[in-house]
Amino acid sequence: MAAAVRPWARELLHVWFERLGPADWFGGGEDVDALLRRRFEDTLHAMGSRPPHEVLTDRTTARAAILLFDQIPRNLHRDSARAFAWDGLALALTHGFLNRNWLAGLSRDQKQFVLMPLMHSEAIADQELSLRLFARHAPDALNFARSHHRMIARFGRFPHRNETLGRESSAAEKRAVANGFSC
């Protein structure tokens, strides 16, 4: 018997894919951040320390959890290290989702957000997988995947995160960012 989809998961997927759209996803803004904070901040904090297997019970809950831990923090904690605090969990969920072969039947937009933690990872192996999967499942976003991959291949990390994360930037990283080399 399949696990029941959690109410927060249904709500998050509805808000993200039905109420919001590409301009909100990638342009954001105060109104989007406020909506997401009001609806999902408590869920993020309540679920954020749970092990991945607790939400890898069904495809819908897992998909919502990937959004919850990858995208919601980036809206709630812009320009803060907390924006990346749940990246490891989102990445583990993406790998679990892929291991269960749950991508089939999802729309391109849905696949893109399931794969996004691979693009956000600072591990080159995840970046390589990101390129392959975006090329196959979300080709509209492949150029973004390529730019993320280039950054990790060159520096082993995302230099534009350095200041926020309290990391020292090398001269080469500073030049690259100043010249618009970003993702």
Dig out the tokens for 3 from the structure. Answer: 């696990």
Question: What is the average per-residue pLDDT within 125-129?
Answer: 98
CATH 1.25.40.10 fits 7-178, yes or no: yes
**Is 112 in contact with 63 (CB distance < 8 Å)?**
no
Greater model confidence, 47 or 183 = 47
Q: Label residues 8-33 b or e (16+ Cβ within 10 Å = b).
A: bbeebbebbbeeeeeebbeebeeebb
Domain ranges of the chain: 7-178
**Percent of the chain whose pLDDT exceeds 70:** 97
Dig out the tokens for 42 from the structure. Answer: 């408590």
136-169 confidence digits (pLDDT tens): 999 999 999 999 999 999 999 999 999 999 999 9
Q: pTM score > 0.85 for this model?
A: yes
Instruction: Please report, to the nearest 10 degrees, the dihedral formed by the alpha carbons of residues 24, 21, 120, 90 taken in order.
Output: 110
12-46 confidence digits (pLDDT tens): 999 999 999 999 998 888 999 999 999 999 999 99
Mean pLDDT in the chain? 93
Q: Which of 72, 65, 71 is nearest to 50 (CA)?
A: 65
